[in-house]
Amino acid sequence: SQKIEQNSEALNIQEGKTATLTCNYTNYSPAYLQWYRQDPGRGPVFLLLIRENEKEKRKERLKVTFDTTLKQSLFHITASQPADSATYLCALDYGGQNFVFGPGTRLSVLP
């Protein structure tokens, strides 16, 4: 079965630095890879989607890369702020109703 790993369970960085979160998977690559933000006690919120034939996608301070050779996606937050502190989930979307969520990385941006 598909296995997803997201770097460490928790990541602490200093305000103003770039946060880099990793999503690694086994088996075959998905058609789409999505990133979500989840605050404590809340439902996840969609951030970005990248297709298997795209190398990079940007949205404001967010950047996502997708390397199907390495079976890895990187999620970057530049000029990080304490308000960026949350859990970030990656999700593999194989099309139709076939998708899998990773366990998440809890990011803490320290002032």
Partner 1 sequence: SQTIHQWPATLVQPVGSPLSLECTVEGTSNPNLYWYRQAAGRGLQLLFYSVGIGQISSEVPQNLSASRPQDRQFILSSKKLLLSDSGFYLCAWRPGLASYEQYFGPGTRLTVT
Instruction: Report the DSSP beta bridge partners of residue 48.
Output: 35
If one asks whether residue 9 binds partner 1 (CB under 8 A), the answer comes out as yes
If one asks whether residue 58 binds partner 1 (CB under 8 A), the answer comes out as no
The CB-of-74 to partner 1 minimum distance in angstroms stands at 18
Site string for partner 1, 15-34 (x = CB under 8 A): -----------------x-x
Q: How many residues form the binding site for partner 1 (CB under 8 A)? A: 23
Long-range contacts of 61-70 (CB under 8 A, 24+ apart): 62/35, 64/33, 64/35, 66/33, 68/29, 70/24
The two beta strands, 32-38 and 45-51, are antiparallel
Footprint of partner 1 on 37-56 (CB under 8 A): 41-46, 49
Which of the stretches 12-20, 66-74, 75-83, 89-97 binds partner 1 when contact is defined by CB under 8 A? 89-97
14, 21, 41, 59, 95 from 100: Cα distances, Å: 31, 17, 21, 23, 11
Q: How far apart are CA 29 and CA 25, in angstroms?
A: 8
Q: What six digits make up the tokens of 10?
A: 């928790």
Nearer to partner 1, 13 or 99 (CB): 99
Interacting residues toward partner 1 by CB under 8 A = 4, 9, 32, 34, 41-46, 49, 89, 91, 93, 95-97, 99-104
